[in-house]
Amino acid sequence: MSLLLEIAVHGPRDVFGAQEGGADRLLLTGAKGMSPDLTEASALLRESDLPVRVMLRLNDSWTTTGGEFTRLVGLAQEYVALGAEGVAFGFLDSDLEVDTGTCTALAEAITGIPWTFHEAVDACLDSRRAWRRLHGIPGLDAVLASGSPQGLSHGYEDLLAQAQASPESAALMLPGHGLLPEHVPWLARAGVRQVHVGRQVRPGASYKAYVDAGHVRSWRLLLDS
């Protein structure tokens, strides 16, 4: 079975390389990992023939406020109206547990829109409990995770163990930051069916470079093999 390949993009100039290389989906973030403004999102969505998810994040923590929540709902609706397939967000509470209340409320406010829980799971103190809390939140079909805030270079074994122990987690898992080609066969055998790459498909592994079709194609061939 071929794995889904999601590419991190930051602007319209990243779209060509992702599409030509064989990506399945794009994840658009703005500056510093925040929500892009509507003009930026619209420009990229006009360029893309692929499904695009857009980041919902308005501050650099894993929490949000009531006022921000209302803005996030509005942003999600506007991104979808512009052509986004889905969105990405993730919130924790003061105990560094998955904030299921806020996540569920936002998911229900945008019912029918698929979404990705974005990276916050790696900051939870008890990762197994965090994954259990994610199961069953409406609309959630991907959890971007690396097993550690430092990425898969530190968290690969823990993330693989979670996939092996829980088919429900494996079905949601979207391994991301620091993913290496040698990780893929083991994750796939554990039931993982989607991966996310960012720096890996840019020349010099630099976000100053645009997504390169040849780099994307190498990952596409790996995931299809």
CB 132 within 8 A of CB 162: no
| For range 36-59, the mean pLDDT | 95
Output the six-digit token pair for 123: 């900051």
Query: Alpha carbon 210 to chain centroid distance?
Result: 19
Contact 110, 85 (CB under 8 A): no
- Say yes or no to pLDDT of 1 above 80: no
pTM of the model: 0.94
Residue that has been written with the tokens 């658009």 in this structure: 28
SS3 64: coil
Q: What is the mean pLDDT of residues 53-57?
A: 96
Give the rounded percent of residues in the chain with a pLDDT score beyond 90. 89
Q: Burial level of 14, CB count in 10 A (0-12/13-18/19+)? A: buried
Q: Tell me, what's the pLDDT at 128?
A: 93
Question: What is the model's pLDDT at position 137?
Answer: 94
Closest CA to 145 of 170, 182, 118: 118
Residue 52: its pLDDT value, please?
Answer: 98
Q: Percent of the chain scored above 70 by pLDDT?
A: 100
- Residue 137: give its domain's CATH number: 3.20.20.380
Q: How confident is the model at residue 64 (pLDDT cuts 50, 70, 90)?
A: confident
Going by pLDDT thresholds of 50, 70 and 90, the confidence category of residue 66 is confident
Q: Which domain holds residue 201?
A: 4-224
Specify the number of domains making up the chain: 1
